[in-house]
Structure 1
Amino acid sequence: MTQANQERLTPLRHLVTVVVFMLAACMLTYLIPPIQSLRPWIPSEEDVPIVRLFKRWGEIPAFAGHGGSYRATAGEGSGTKRLAEAVGETVAANLGTKPIIAPPRAAEEEIAIEPAEYSGISVQIEDPTGRGMRAFYEALERTARGDEGAITRVGHYGDSSIATDLITSTVRQNLQARFGDAGHGFVLAAKGFIPYKHRGVVQSSNPEAWELREVVRRQDRHGRYGYGGVQSTAMRGSWARIGTARRGAVGKKASRFDIFFEQQPRGGKFSVRVDREDREIVSTKADLPGDGVFSIEVPDGPHSIELRYQRGGPVSFYGVVMERDGPGVVYDSLGLVGARANRLLNFDETHIRRQLEQRGTNLIVLGFGGNEASDDRTEQMFYEDYMKVLRRMRQGREDLACLVFAPLDQARRTRGRIRTLPTIPLIVAAQRRAATDSGCAFYDTWRAMGGEDAMRRWYKARPRLAMGDFRHATPAGYEIIGNMFYKAILAGFARYLSKAPSTTVPASTDPSTPSAEPADASDSLDSVDSTDSPDGGIPSSSAESNTSPKR
């Protein structure tokens, strides 16, 4: 063999040597037990090596308004059957369903919720003490009875799964179709650059002219973030427009705008204009720090308002409410991307109580746990966090109903298989205990989805119900959760009307609920790392008055 031929073969020999070495190294992982975790593939894995490299990457999580729509195949014969085979009949039955609209009720007739209205659910609201939902059901009864001006208000706090306003918009539309449309409810005055979007409302602003302080990041030393957990401070040239929806069955009309803002000794002035009418100047200056509300009443119909900074000192908005006179329901979506439940402890205690009172909230729903799933904590630590949060938010008020809304299944791909994170059963068990011990209700979202490894089944379903990060649902998945929760509310209301005992699922009988772990001393708000949480890495944006001025 000539020297030229040998030189040409040298790179090939090197390549063969490398391949043989790599194959030998792989074989050793099957022969030596201590290094078996390095095996490139095991028979139980769903994907074989190399093939998985050519599979499509997972989708971007559908948080804060991102994520497309879907074509509902539920209700289309074979599509319904395939979906039911993948995720179960109960889950499949709640895709594409619409609420049953009750016929007009005569004044002398009793309020009735027919079983057909809440059929197709396997998980109901747990309220063993009867105190969790009583105040809400009493308000809803007045609304259902058609009492003049009877508005039932819900404030649903949560992480990115709530910030999409997909679960909450589904519940909102269903409740308003069933009991009356009392308006869209609360929205932030301006969102700056944070991921934030509401369905059924028109909203715009110049984000660069607003400075935001978020309760999630403890950015206000006084803890005055407003009802929605985000304080929007207007700077010179800032403006924001908020209006009723142009399309859809609900949210297209308003008869009142309530502007929530911070009062302070150095407060400046802002202007507000309804539709194309003249501007009105509002001062936020007060002798002592407090929380103000400026209300504008308009003829019931489509409207918009424009807020502009005018002059003087700082002007900080908490948000804007669009409502109608009622009777009806308002469902406020209060999503906080990146939030853990214990971030609500950053609220000043007096301030958040006053905000909930000014808003007239009948029920608060706390829907957290997705971000906590990444934390290395015990069940007892989660439990202690939730006890503190529930005390801070409810503050012993029996006229304020409260419900803990368990997280969606949270999963991770390990060795090619999609598995529920081990912290999820701990979080759900801790939430159930804390809710019961605080006199609040509990809804097991995780079990409603299917429990252990539900995210895997939802991801493989068609239409796809879970995103490729295995921490968020698709719009179709969020719709299913919203429909199941709405039906659970109706089922609980039906029991209330019949005065029947509330359904409860004891933790000891729930196969998905493990026993509590030993307590751990650490409960610091900032002691956990959010890098691996579903909302980790999302960038941040850089009340004492009893009267509401009327226009």
Structure 2
Amino acid sequence: MKASKIFLFILSVILIMGVVWVVFPQGGIKVGGTTLRFASYEEASSSINEEVVDVDKVLSELEQSFNMIPGSHQDSLRFFKKFLKSNSNRIWLPNDDYTYLDSLFYLFDNAKEEDKIYRIMHYGDSQIEMDRISSIVREHLQGIFGGNGNGLVPAIQSVSTYSLVQSASGALTRFTLIGDSTTVRADHNRYGVMTHFSQLYGEASISFRVSKNSNCQERAKKFSEVALLVGNTSPGFKASLRCDTIRTESKVLKNAVQGVSLLIWELPAYASRGTITLSGSAEIYGFLMDGESGIALDNAPLRGCSGTIFTRLNKNVMKQSFDLLDTRMIILQFGGNRAVSVRNEKHISNYLRQLEKQIDYFHEVAPEAQILFIGPSDMGRSVDGRISTIPMLPDLNDSLKVMALNKGAAYWDLFNMMGGENSMVRWVKHSPPLASSDYIHFTTRGAEHVGMAFARAFEVCYNFYKLRQELDPEMVSAYMNSEDPFEVSSAEMMENNNDKTSVVE
């Protein structure tokens, strides 16, 4: 075929397509269950002109925002005010109260001296499965406050994790609050703090060892204390621990206990594996692997959950458990599973009312714990033929922030930390990928960035707390609440702080 005929053929095809484009209905044509459509000129041009999120730039600026150049107290105050007032990665605090986390920091600071372990419970959806995000936060915060181990885990683990390999055998039956039609549910609501438990009737064993997975964090690789969280135990309930640093040691509850009990084994040296043998009848809420003192962070992933199920849990079991565990912070990371079904403001309002009840519930069952809400990440789906942010997700994120702060909870904005609208597309296309091709979940590397970003934001709040121990509270308050955005005078520092003007190194 001559070149001229080929050219005319191609030209005619383009012209025909152009005519079809012009006359094709804007809403498309339904063929069976499928809608055929052409992108409009406006849609096509918006795709071309759409601002692309530069992920490397976002992460670089994020890292730089944490870096405080050593200097005077003036310089330090200026840095903290700027971070807490305007940094997109900051932890938003209720009433803009920079002292909101002070009581928590005081406990964490004194954990070693008091030989205590204070806990953070991290609830979330499938974004935190396999100990993703949680493990990074745990490693970083234990590096600051002390602590070791993987924390609280269920007797029967339905999804493997980076940090632990475990198995169970014998007379154990797993019951869980959430799931699909195949889920086995109990005839009561005593599911415990993990929202699922294992019922023991007879004899069973739980074996566990530190994972050799390359993603297992260093401080999770060893523990010096093991504990068992149980409830409704029969007379003579017996739990025995054998590990690589001690011979078998047994704990026996002679009398029946209707409430929650915590059985603790303190090891003479760090261990990396063990087996718990059980005998009797009990509800096994989980077992713990910790260090001597410091903090622990417990990972509780709830696949498919929107964070609205907690009020269905037995209050007495939850309160007793949080008291025994010394849980002082509860992180709720939800919103993604609801975002996919939100169509309008009414849907958002209904969801917010449900979440308000959950926060009220945690205030009741864990009155000494601070609550922090982590909002949804950006998520993408096909909208008019191209992958973009799920409609209403930005509005949902903003509404969740307002709701949390109004209910006395802190908020961390994961959506904007990523770069905001349409950032998920770029996280997926990044090399190496930081999110999976479902445009919802992070890859291991992406989860590391997220976990570290949150941990560093938390550390900034802690460093500000430490600085304020050296300064006059009234002067700090006046400066933080002043209209002048980031300036504090040297004369004011000298007048209010007297001899507390040493250089921060």
Q: The TM-score by the shorter chain falls in which range?
A: 0.7 to 0.9
Q: Does 1:216 align with 2:157?
A: no
Match of 1:363 among 315, 318, 329: 329
Q: Does 1:488 align with 2:457?
A: yes
Per the normalisation by structure 2, the TM-score is 0.73
Match of 1:443 in 2: 412
Match of 1:321 in 2: 288
Deviation string, structure 1 residues 241-266 (Cα, Å, up to 9, x no partner): 12345675312332211101122458
Change (3 A) 1:355 1:268: same
Match of 2:443 in 1: 474
Change (3 A) 1:393 1:487: same
Deviation string, structure 1 residues 287-318 (Cα, Å, up to 9, x no partner): 452111111111131243212343x4x33311
Contact 1:225 1:231 in 2 (8 A): yes
Q: Does 1:409 align with 2:378?
A: yes
Matches of 1:398 and 1:280, distance apart in 2: 35
The alignment covers a number of residue pairs equal to 423
Could you say what secondary structure the match of 1:408 adopts? coil
Change (3 A) 1:315 1:288: closer
Q: Does 1:136 align with 2:99?
A: no
Change (3 A) 1:265 1:426: farther
Q: Does 1:498 align with 2:467?
A: yes
Matches of 2:256 and 2:282, distance apart in 1: 15
Change (3 A) 1:309 1:150: closer
Match of 2:422 in 1: 453
Deviation string, structure 1 residues 33-59 (Cα, Å, up to 9, x no partner): 45468444426569x9xxxxxxxxxxx
Matches of 2:77 and 2:459, distance apart in 1: 7
Matches of 2:26 and 2:395, distance apart in 1: 31
Query: Which AA in structure 1 matches 2:139?
Result: Q
Match of 2:219 in 1: 250
TM-superposed CA distance for 1:456, in Å, is: 1.4
Query: Which AA in structure 1 matches 2:416?
Result: R
Contact 1:86 1:461 in 2 (8 A): no
TM-superposed CA distance for 1:437, in Å, is: 2.0
Match of 2:164 among 172, 180, 201: 201
**Greater mean deviation of Cα atoms: 335-344 or 411-420:** 411-420
TM-superposed CA distance for 1:205, in Å, is: 3.1
Could you say what secondary structure the match of 1:371 adopts? helix
Change (3 A) 1:431 1:34: closer
Query: Which AA in structure 1 matches 2:354?
Result: D
Change (3 A) 1:137 1:264: same
Query: Which AA in structure 2 matches 1:216?
Result: I
TM-superposed CA distance for 1:222, in Å, is: 2.9
Matches of 1:176 and 1:308, distance apart in 2: 29
Matches of 2:29 and 2:334, distance apart in 1: 37
Residue ranges of structure 2 left out of the alignment (5+ in a row): 1-12, 68-75, 469-475, 482-505
Query: Which AA in structure 2 matches 1:322?
Result: M
Query: Which AA in structure 1 matches 2:55?
Result: V
Could you say what secondary structure the match of 2:416 adopts? helix
**Greater mean deviation of Cα atoms: 275-284 or 439-448:** 275-284
TM-superposed CA distance for 1:91, in Å, is: 2.0
Matches of 1:85 and 1:370, distance apart in 2: 20
Q: Does 1:90 align with 2:58?
A: yes
**Greater mean deviation of Cα atoms: 341-350 or 478-487:** 341-350
Change (3 A) 1:250 1:39: same
Change (3 A) 1:147 1:267: closer
Deviation string, structure 1 residues 65-104 (Cα, Å, up to 9, x no partner): xxxxxxxxxxxxxxxxxxx973152324669x9x99xxxx
Matches of 1:149 and 1:270, distance apart in 2: 25
Of Structure 1 and Structure 2, the greater strand share is in 2
User: Kindly, what percent of the aligned residue pairs are identical?
Assistant: 24
Match of 2:490 in 1: none
Matches of 1:203 and 1:413, distance apart in 2: 39
Change (3 A) 1:391 1:196: farther
Contact 1:132 1:440 in 2 (8 A): no
Query: Which AA in structure 2 matches 1:316?
Result: E
Could you say what secondary structure the match of 1:243 adopts? strand
Contact 2:225 2:265 in 1 (8 A): yes
Deviation string, structure 1 residues 302-338 (Cα, Å, up to 9, x no partner): 243212343x4x3331111112222x33221111222
Matches of 1:183 and 1:33, distance apart in 2: 58
TM-superposed CA distance for 1:345, in Å, is: 1.7
Query: Which AA in structure 1 matches 2:159?
Result: P
Match of 1:334 in 2: 300
Matches of 2:236 and 2:395, distance apart in 1: 46
Match of 1:163 among 121, 124, 129: 129
Matches of 1:114 and 1:209, distance apart in 2: 60
Match of 1:31 in 2: 24
Change (3 A) 1:150 1:264: closer
Query: Which AA in structure 2 matches 1:195?
Result: V
Contact 1:152 1:330 in 2 (8 A): yes
Contact 1:45 1:417 in 2 (8 A): no
TM-superposed CA distance for 1:231, in Å, is: 0.2
- What is the CA RMSD across the aligned residues, in angstroms? 3.7
Contact 1:139 1:150 in 2 (8 A): no
Of Structure 1 and Structure 2, the greater helix share is in 2
Contact 1:262 1:290 in 2 (8 A): yes
1:342-381 aligned within 5 A: 342-376=308-342, 378-381=347-350
Q: Does 1:293 align with 2:262?
A: yes
Contact 2:207 2:275 in 1 (8 A): yes
Matches of 2:451 and 2:219, distance apart in 1: 16
Matches of 2:187 and 2:78, distance apart in 1: 50
Match of 2:7 in 1: none
